[in-house]
Structure 1
Amino acid sequence: MDVITIKKGLKIGELDAEADFDLLKSCFVDNGQLENLLDIKSPASIILGRTGSGKSALLYKISLDVEHSAMLDPNDISIRFLEHSNIIQFFNEINVKLDLFYRILWRHILTVELLKLRYSLKNKSDNDTFLSRFNQWVGRDSVKKRAFEYFSEWGDRFWLETDEQLQELTTKLTKDIKAKLGSKFSGVDISLEGARSLSEEVRSEIRSLATQVVSGIQIKRLNEVLELLSDFAFNDRQKRYYILIDKLDEDWAETETRCRFIRALIEETKSLRKIPQVKVVTALRRDLLDLVFDRTRDSGFQEEKYEAYLVPLIWSKEDLKNLLSARVNEVYRRQYTSGAVRFIDIFPNPKKGATGEAIDYIIERTLFRPRDAIQFCNECFLIAADRNRISWRAIYAAEVNYSTKRLKSLKEEWSEFYPALEATVEILRGVVNPFTRSNLLGKRLEEAALEIHEDDPRDPCVKSVKKFFEPKSKVTEAEIVSQILICLYHTGMIGVKMSTLDTFVWSHIDQPRISKSEVKRANQIVVHKMFRRALEINDTKSFHASPKTQRLKKTY
């Protein structure tokens, strides 16, 4: 390969999937999930993965590979409008369960999106043509006629944008409620303030009437609509239709509403299985799914019933090597040479006496996610600008920047679960790897607890510390340490070993959570290599290294 000088600003990819679509086309690495998701007959439809694991990339790849697909963004559905509408605030205040209403909203939204996709509905003229055809399907069949009633009611508005559809449905719900309340409650103000002014007796009566309205909302007709669509609209076995849903982890609604809405989406994803040529594929963070199930768990809930629909996005070391190699080759092909460029052509050879290559060193400092690996490599190219190759010195220097950025990103990633994570992680600063629970007690815990105590009270670690400082508290320092370790394990900061004969267990590789009893049995604890530079973590091995090696570590 000709000698090439690394240009300033060279990257092997962007951290945001939308900005990285150009390279995704030519460097997509399938780690075994794509075929299952594309298979219409397979129930697999919810892509699960941590931030940066490639969920959006997988959805984008599906959109490229199929003829008929539509991408749905929850930010475009105006859930904020729903949250702040008088009727929803009224229902929430008098404790009317809205789960079924959210399911109806999703079924309507998904049905409309499918019809737009199937018949290219863009205006009222397209709608009229579709309804005329639809009327011919119905004939004299009474069941189909009931389904047609739904289309007659909403058909002239199918071409509207999704947020307008939602507002139409919410307006109709308000009218239905007022009609159901009748003259007896005609003076009731359907708003948050109106609900707060009601006596408990009146609340109870209105709650009963409102529940009847919500429970009776077109659910039967919508089931019949699905059957009709299956028989006539999506009956061509040669054509497949995909609705792709992303960005559910963004701030498009308050946490409680978001959880209810996502749970409703999951239920409707299952319902749309009745249409054999249609599939809804959703990208969802694993921790957000856990939160959804925790917040919406009702009697009789069985999580295992959802397993067939879940597609965990898991990357192996070999997968990440293939991804980095493909991207390095493609970027160099575009900017420098038409010849093939290997990762080892740009990055340094293994150090003398070392067992791993540079690519192994990089991947070991990731949570086995593409975004981590790409960011580390980008930092290496930034340090090595104007040079021919990336040296080990450049990798070590890049690691400092990378580690600091990854720690900041981790705090942002888990802010919903652990809003006090920034204060919590400080208990690890400067610790010597590996360590035990007892190493966190004493002054280290005292200093951390004082910082955590003043943080967000929603955080489980803050709650534990606040209870500890209460008069006559029975919470011990050991219990605080357990809660902190549970948090740090869950986020991927630490790995734990249960006994001297076990290997270290990690949330991103093994089990996503660890129980109090398990964390109490922890024999040894280590901070993940990704965060050691940012937290100034020492390794006991360094104390046995040669003076030259120790000097090099300080230099880098």
Structure 2
Amino acid sequence: MGRKKSSRKRPATQPTTFVIDENDNIGTGDADNDFAYLDNSFVNERNLDLLVDTENVQHIILGRTGSGKTALIKKLSSGNVNYILLDPASLSLNYIYKSTIIQYFDEIEAPVKQLFEFLWIHIFTVEILRHHLSISDKSGGFLTLSRFLARFRSNSSYSRAKNYVDQFGDKFWQEVDENVQELISRVDARAEAKFGINKDFLNLRASGGANTSEQERRELNRKATELISGQQFAELDHLRKIIREEFSQKMQKKFFILIDRLDENWVDDKLRYILLRSLIEAARKFVHIPNLKICIAIRSDLYRKMNEETNDLYSQADKEKQYVINIRWTEELLEDLIDARIKSRFREKYRNKKVSLRDLLPSHTIDGEDSFSFIVNRTFGRPRDLVNVINLCLSLSRGKAVLTQEVIRKAVNENSYNSFKYLCDEWKSIYPNLKDYLELLKKKKDHLKFEDISNDQIDHFALNSATRDDKKKGPLHDSSVAHSEGKVPIYILKQKVLYHLYLVGVIGFKTDSFTAFRWVNTDREPALFEEFQSAEKLQIHKAVHLALGISP
């Protein structure tokens, strides 16, 4: 898939003194279950160094499923005892959707991003101070906070920061989920006092007994940002400035807030993307505090979907480039990773023997490719992919000392079906109908052009896409509807469909005969649609060839 053949040579042949047995594997590729391998087989040191460096502003970890985001978070936490791991599922953020005012503002589409941003900043501030000052109980917590603030009496932010602590300081000892509920309850109370909105009002509306005029809707939209007063925002900001001064001291240890698992069911889908956008913008406000870093791991597809849903696809993505670490794996790094796991596994079995990846691989090429390159080029080039294939090879090689060409072919063929299934699962939040896209490629040649996808196929795709219900709408629903109404030419819709297959990694393209194929997994940034439209040739990724019945 456009990768260079490995230049590494097989080590000199040594006597066969080991054998593969039924228990041999190199882990799961899942950082949650790979504790031993995480310690002795971690190779992504460059990205880890960027995260650990609190003077480096890069703190958003982007990568596909199985690319090593969680491994980075776990490796960082294992080397730094001064950290907080914020599990989104434990924050009680679904409590937000039970809020009277949030339900109402969602109904009238009022802006609530400012409220959510304030919520995240409040969470970060409380957690930083609670852990930094070892606040664990109500009786001593407020006194500890007061003594801490007293050290900054000469700071211009002191009085306003103290006002905020006077309002919320008696709750700082609580766990983070309790603080979330406390803050939302206060917002509800403020909404009832300011707007007269309570559960009785919502029940009346639900029964048809109250309506909101367009003029009232505009007025409530305007007032939505007043739920959190400008004064509270300012006071919280001054408390953040006090934290900055505290963490600027020379002897201050590094402190990390780590956030992972944002792709799991931690909040109602109606709030997920606006909460994610608010989280990222809130974390950015802490970027320039010395010795402190808020690290956020997020799937690339979820990040893109968030930007689409919050209308920030290009504006925010461009601004945030400087804060992002894109996890990308070269073939060399992948070989280092698998080699380290092989050595670790066989070191446990044969204390005095060294067994490397190249000891197991056949010395000859497979279809003209280096044996490891052959494997890599038939996966999507992520650690989990390679771990799965090598484990399949080991399971098919019991009683042997090497992985034969036949075994490797069987393993990559079986993995092709797995890749198809994992691909649909990985992208289901954005492409609930991804199988319809992939269906267009079945039984095609691995190299093709736009015209190799027939107009009848696109018409059929458009009909299916346009008639799906709301929960299964994909990104091309509107274009499909427009095509059925004669507003989008069929060749444009065809290009859009294939472009989205490029975005999920299934198709590569080249715009002339002199350059290599471009793949989203190896591009520094995804190509724009306008670039893709100039493609002369397309190529279907070998990882899904067998599953799609692709012929060379």
TM-score between both structures, scaled by the size of structure 1:
0.88
Letter in 1 for 2:256: Y
Contact 1:420 1:462 in 2 (8 A): no
Q: Report the alpha carbon displacement of residue 222 of structure 1 after superposing the two structures with TM.
A: 0.6
Q: Which residue does the alignment assign to 2:331?
A: 317
Residues 4 and 444 (structure 1), Cα distance of their counterparts in 2 relative to 1, 3 Å cut: farther
Residues 205 and 498 (structure 1), Cα distance of their counterparts in 2 relative to 1, 3 Å cut: closer
Moved more, 225-234 or 172-181: 225-234
Q: 1:359 & 1:207 partners in 2: Cα distance? A: 58
Q: Which residue does the alignment assign to 1:523?
A: 536
Contact 1:496 1:525 in 2 (8 A): yes
Residues 10 and 187 (structure 1), Cα distance of their counterparts in 2 relative to 1, 3 Å cut: closer
Q: Does 1:224 align with 2:253?
A: no
Q: 2:289 & 2:455 partners in 1: Cα distance? A: 61
2:341 is aligned, of 322, 327, 348, to: 327
Q: 1:374 & 1:237 partners in 2: Cα distance? A: 42
1:33 is aligned, of 35, 38, 47, to: 47
Give the 5 Å matches for 1:297-316: 297=311, 301=315, 303-316=317-330
Contact 2:260 2:296 in 1 (8 A): yes
Q: Does 1:246 align with 2:257?
A: no
Q: Which residue does the alignment assign to 2:372?
A: 359
Letter in 1 for 2:354: A
Q: 1:299 & 1:505 partners in 2: Cα distance? A: 22
Q: Which residue does the alignment assign to 2:90?
A: 76
Q: Report the alpha carbon displacement of residue 46 of structure 1 after superposing the two structures with TM.
A: 0.8
Q: Report the alpha carbon displacement of residue 516 of structure 1 after superposing the two structures with TM.
A: 4.4
2:61 is aligned, of 47, 72, 84, to: 47
Contact 1:100 1:215 in 2 (8 A): no
Q: 1:37 & 1:313 partners in 2: Cα distance? A: 12
Contact 2:101 2:198 in 1 (8 A): no
Residues 306 and 514 (structure 1), Cα distance of their counterparts in 2 relative to 1, 3 Å cut: closer
Q: 2:361 & 2:115 partners in 1: Cα distance? A: 56
Q: Which residue does the alignment assign to 1:546?
A: none
Q: Report the alpha carbon displacement of residue 190 of structure 1 after superposing the two structures with TM.
A: 5.3
Q: Secondary structure at the match of 1:406?
A: helix
Q: 2:203 & 2:313 partners in 1: Cα distance? A: 28
Letter in 2 for 1:179: A
Contact 1:50 1:287 in 2 (8 A): yes
Q: Which residue does the alignment assign to 1:278?
A: 292
Letter in 2 for 1:65: G
Contact 2:117 2:282 in 1 (8 A): yes
Residues 147 and 438 (structure 1), Cα distance of their counterparts in 2 relative to 1, 3 Å cut: same
Contact 2:54 2:290 in 1 (8 A): yes
Q: 1:187 & 1:446 partners in 2: Cα distance? A: 49
Q: Does 1:481 align with 2:494?
A: yes
Q: Which residue does the alignment assign to 2:473?
A: 458
Letter in 2 for 1:93: E
Moved more, 171-180 or 185-194: 185-194
Q: Secondary structure at the match of 1:333?
A: helix
TM-score between both structures, scaled by the size of structure 2:
0.89
Q: Report the alpha carbon displacement of residue 357 of structure 1 after superposing the two structures with TM.
A: 2.8
Residues 425 and 281 (structure 1), Cα distance of their counterparts in 2 relative to 1, 3 Å cut: same
Letter in 1 for 2:440: I
Moved more, 495-504 or 290-299: 290-299
1:122 is aligned, of 122, 136, 153, to: 136
Contact 1:256 1:295 in 2 (8 A): no
Q: Secondary structure at the match of 2:440?
A: helix
1:175 is aligned, of 189, 199, 203, to: 189
Instruction: Encode CA deviations 1:267-306: one digit per residue, 9 max, x unaligned.
Output: 2222113532211111122222222223223799454322
Residues 438 and 9 (structure 1), Cα distance of their counterparts in 2 relative to 1, 3 Å cut: farther
Give the 5 Å matches for 1:94-105: 94-105=108-119
Q: Which residue does the alignment assign to 2:74?
A: 60
Q: Report the alpha carbon displacement of residue 530 of structure 1 after superposing the two structures with TM.
A: 0.9
2:161 is aligned, of 147, 151, 158, to: 147
Q: Report the alpha carbon displacement of residue 326 of structure 1 after superposing the two structures with TM.
A: 0.5
Contact 2:16 2:401 in 1 (8 A): no
Contact 1:121 1:158 in 2 (8 A): yes
Contact 2:26 2:345 in 1 (8 A): yes
Q: Secondary structure at the match of 1:428?
A: coil
Moved more, 292-301 or 392-401: 292-301
Contact 2:462 2:483 in 1 (8 A): no
Q: Report the alpha carbon displacement of residue 512 of structure 1 after superposing the two structures with TM.
A: 4.8
Residues 92 and 325 (structure 1), Cα distance of their counterparts in 2 relative to 1, 3 Å cut: same
2:429 is aligned, of 410, 413, 416, to: 416
Counting aligned pairs with the same residue, the percent is 31
Residues 4 and 304 (structure 1), Cα distance of their counterparts in 2 relative to 1, 3 Å cut: same
Q: Report the alpha carbon displacement of residue 23 of structure 1 after superposing the two structures with TM.
A: 0.9
Contact 1:506 1:512 in 2 (8 A): no
Q: Secondary structure at the match of 1:398?
A: helix
Q: Report the alpha carbon displacement of residue 531 of structure 1 after superposing the two structures with TM.
A: 0.9
Q: Report the alpha carbon displacement of residue 214 of structure 1 after superposing the two structures with TM.
A: 3.0
Contact 1:138 1:148 in 2 (8 A): no
Contact 1:496 1:505 in 2 (8 A): yes
Letter in 2 for 1:149: N
Q: Secondary structure at the match of 1:33?
A: helix
2:449 is aligned, of 415, 422, 436, to: 436
Q: Which residue does the alignment assign to 1:548?
A: none
Q: Does 1:160 align with 2:174?
A: yes
Q: Secondary structure at the match of 2:83?
A: strand
Moved more, 42-51 or 356-365: 356-365
Q: Report the alpha carbon displacement of residue 156 of structure 1 after superposing the two structures with TM.
A: 2.3
Q: Secondary structure at the match of 2:347?
A: helix
Judging by fraction of residues, say which structure has more helix: 1
Q: Which residue does the alignment assign to 1:213?
A: 227
Q: Report the alpha carbon displacement of residue 249 of structure 1 after superposing the two structures with TM.
A: 2.0
Instruction: Encode CA deviations 1:290-326: one digit per residue, 9 max, x unaligned.
Output: 2222322379945432221111112111111111100
Contact 2:192 2:198 in 1 (8 A): no
Q: Which residue does the alignment assign to 2:17?
A: 3
Q: Secondary structure at the match of 1:526?
A: strand
Residues 414 and 516 (structure 1), Cα distance of their counterparts in 2 relative to 1, 3 Å cut: same
Q: 1:24 & 1:121 partners in 2: Cα distance? A: 32
Moved more, 227-236 or 377-386: 227-236
Q: Identify the structure with bigger relative contact order (alpha carbons < 8 Å, sequence gap 6+).
A: 2
Q: Which residue does the alignment assign to 2:506?
A: 493
Residues 420 and 512 (structure 1), Cα distance of their counterparts in 2 relative to 1, 3 Å cut: farther
Give the 5 Å matches for 1:366-405: 366-405=379-418
Q: Which residue does the alignment assign to 2:7?
A: none
Q: Secondary structure at the match of 2:298?
A: strand
Q: Report the alpha carbon displacement of residue 107 of structure 1 after superposing the two structures with TM.
A: 0.8
Instruction: Encode CA deviations 1:486-539: one digit per residue, 9 max, x unaligned.
Output: 111110001112122232111111265444443433221111111112112110
Instruction: Encode CA deviations 1:323-348: one digit per residue, 9 max, x unaligned.
Output: 11001110111234442211121222
Residues 132 and 448 (structure 1), Cα distance of their counterparts in 2 relative to 1, 3 Å cut: closer
Letter in 2 for 1:100: Q
